[in-house]
Structure 1
């Protein structure tokens, strides 16, 4: 895992913890579900941004069909 990806994961869990504290006063028992949804959305967005480069496979590494 690259440093940027690890930083993104840690950052999203910090955001999630902060949102859980903030939403706890507003949503009560639904704060955990709301913060997990926010963390999940953030992780998905971070993964999409960090993994946007296309990986290319060299032609020599592809098996030929019979």
Structure 2
């Protein structure tokens, strides 16, 4: 029975440290400008025409941070 508890604790530790970190509230890498643009299109914040215009600006590199 003692072996079962040790096995469970070890498996819990392996699960905590080996799983990819995508826990809510945890820091993650910032999204790229194109990812943000896609999310805005998907949520309806911008029209497909605006999406194409902004995407073209990102592709050509004409859009600069300001």
Which structure ranks higher in relative contact order (CA pairs < 8 Å, sequence separation ≥ 6)?
Answer: 1
Give TM-score scaled by structure 2 length: 0.31
Give TM-score scaled by structure 1 length: 0.31
